[in-house]
Structure 1
Amino acid sequence: MEEYAERLIVPWWLWLPGLGAAALLATEIWMGSTGVRAWLPFAVLLPLAVAGLWWVGRIRVRVAGGELYVDDAHLPVRFVTDVVPLDASGRREVLGVGADPLAFVVQRPWVGGAVQVVLDDPEDPTPYWVVSSRHPAKLAAALLAARDATRAATR
């Protein structure tokens, strides 16, 4: 059963400058030429821009089966000690100068919120995960509920 899921897609308003930059670069290469140079830059750069924008927005965050999945990384919730929902300023503070270099971070600048997942795993030096989320309070609640359910099941 999946308790929480979201995808950190690129918003539509960021596609406009991305595709615009690709079109501008293709126009610069074209520069009024004829033949292959007239169409090849557009045929290559515009699909590359679409693929790149899709690729950076492919990250899925989900809580299912007693684990937190972030893209292809996963964390058993039994190691979670606390989850802190963060707004944009809280995320900036956690990822700022005092950030731990061993932290696991999946951050997307177009997503305002995040969660800090504090860990207690004696075999892993990672102190916490910071994961972008559009709904940090819901993600935090799902993680804590999954952790509590896992702990209750093991007793």
Structure 2
Amino acid sequence: MSKRHLGLAALLLFSVTGLSALPVAPAHAADASVDCDLRFSLKGWSIIYKHAEGQGTVVCNNGQRANVKISVVGGGLTAGKYRIDDGKGAISHVRSVDDVFGDYAQAGAEAGVVKSGQAQVLTKGTTSLALSGTGEGVNLGISVGKFSIERVH
């Protein structure tokens, strides 16, 4: 299956499962002029149920920053074990670093052996999170779930 077909399958799965019905913050697009970058590492596994955990740092262009914990949970037709070492995320449409925290709707199609790669765009209300990363592992399938970012105190 080509990357284009995997992307279309993930989009279809996302719209069919109704993940857009997840609770979202009220829209403040006119006030949302801060952009933030997320750097993270993540490791996880999936056998129908998907689970991953990691940590990272969020740095915003207004000088705010925060150490974060990341968790991914979900399900679907997936199997594998993977690790992402140098993940990057671009977060847009926020007013401050506080708007970054919470649950993002996730749908994805993964395929990789030994050297894994992943790229996704996730949403939480009007906030967008574009993720990319490379690592190692074996993963195959289509999944839906949530990508959560929590502040580490």
TM-score (norm 1): 0.25
The structure that has the greater radius of gyration is: 1
Compare relative contact order (CA 8 Å, sep 6+) and give the higher one, 1 or 2.
2
